[in-house]
Structure 1
Amino acid sequence: MSYQKNAEAQGIVFEKQTPGYLNLCIKSGNQLLTSGHVSDLKGKLGDGTTVDAGYQAARNCVEKILKSVWNTHGTLDGLRVIKVLGCVNSTQDFTDQHLVINGASDLLHVIFGKDGDGYHARSALGFAQLPTGAAVEVEAIFEIVA
């Protein structure tokens, strides 16, 4: 099964996006670099927002990223995930950012394969605040391999 079909099997619907103020995904050479995509979930991890909710929020960010990548590249096929940066809106004493961002990595592993093109480098960081009060923001870099 293709990566595109894997994503569709996860319920991700791909539709043309209207360009906005910033480019959500830009091609540079053989790479696709995405802007940060924020979760629909608002809140702060460690202050009423659970790790499970944050995990789903990180997954939500990757769904948005994949839609932006599709709008730029036309397909998810022929891509390799290189790097993921996960930002978690969290309290100063919250230390499970990595568990939250697993929501992003796990979805990429399902779509691109954990041992293949979905095996990526990653950072999971805590932030005092994110734009619009979002619980999570994620950005990614993909390599065009085919």
Structure 2
Amino acid sequence: MVARDKVGQTTAEQRLKALGIKLPAPPEPFGTYVEAVQTGNLLFLSGMLPTEGRGAKIVGRVGAELDVEAGREAARLAALNALAVAKEYLESLDRVTRVVRLGVSVATSGDVRDQPKVADAASELLQDVFGKDKNPSRLVYGVASLPLGSPVALEVIFEVTG
């Protein structure tokens, strides 16, 4: 049974544990930038990629080297990396009061039109962790290429407390 916070809601940290999700080590920047910047009550995350260690775990374009399912796997890994960065910065995901925006770039080739299906994997993970009532607005688009040959890059904006 999942414990509830003071107003009877399951917290993000409790959901992670109940889902059996262990966050990866937060990725380090691949250039001259920081992974997270907070201004006021908004936390902006840099482009989150499906990386592990210092490299891309999944490489290719949806519709060429990868199918939609592999793109979804990449989107979920990028979302896990986003959660890891947010947790490192905030110390607890329970400080997230809302997922404001999710931007998803999907590297595709040809006439691929399944970018929303790929992006749904990231959206579903965020919903599982934060709850349906904190679903973000979302922008999804196809691009020719992304850093490190990654199939997906996420931009995430969280509303946070304190």
Fold equivalence (TM over 0.5): yes
Distance in 2, Cα, partners of 1:138 & 1:19? 14
Counterpart residue type for residue 131 of structure 2:
G
Q: How many residues align?
A: 144
* TM-score for both structures, normalised by structure 2: 0.81
Q: Give me the identity figure in percent.
A: 29
Measure how far apart 1:145 and its partner are. 4.3
Distance in 2, Cα, partners of 1:104 & 1:85? 10
Distance in 2, Cα, partners of 1:61 & 1:73? 18
Q: Secondary structure at the match of 1:77?
A: helix
Q: What value does the CA root-mean-square deviation take over the aligned residues?
A: 1.9
Q: Secondary structure at the match of 2:131?
A: helix
Measure how far apart 1:139 and its partner are. 1.2
Measure how far apart 1:19 and its partner are. 7.1
* TM-score for both structures, normalised by structure 1: 0.90
Measure how far apart 1:22 and its partner are. 2.0
Counterpart in the other structure of 2:23:
13
CA shift digits 1:66-106 (9 cap, x unpaired): 11111111111031100000010101310110000001000
Residue 33 of structure 2 is aligned to residue 22 of structure 1:
yes
Q: Which has the larger radius of gyration?
A: 2
Counterpart residue type for residue 87 of structure 1:
S
Distance in 2, Cα, partners of 1:54 & 1:17? 19
Q: Secondary structure at the match of 1:94?
A: coil
Counterpart in the other structure of 2:45:
34
Unpaired stretches in structure 2, ≥5 consecutive residues: 1-9, 51-56
Structure showing greater relative contact order (alpha-carbon pairs closer than 8 Å, 6 or more residues apart): 1
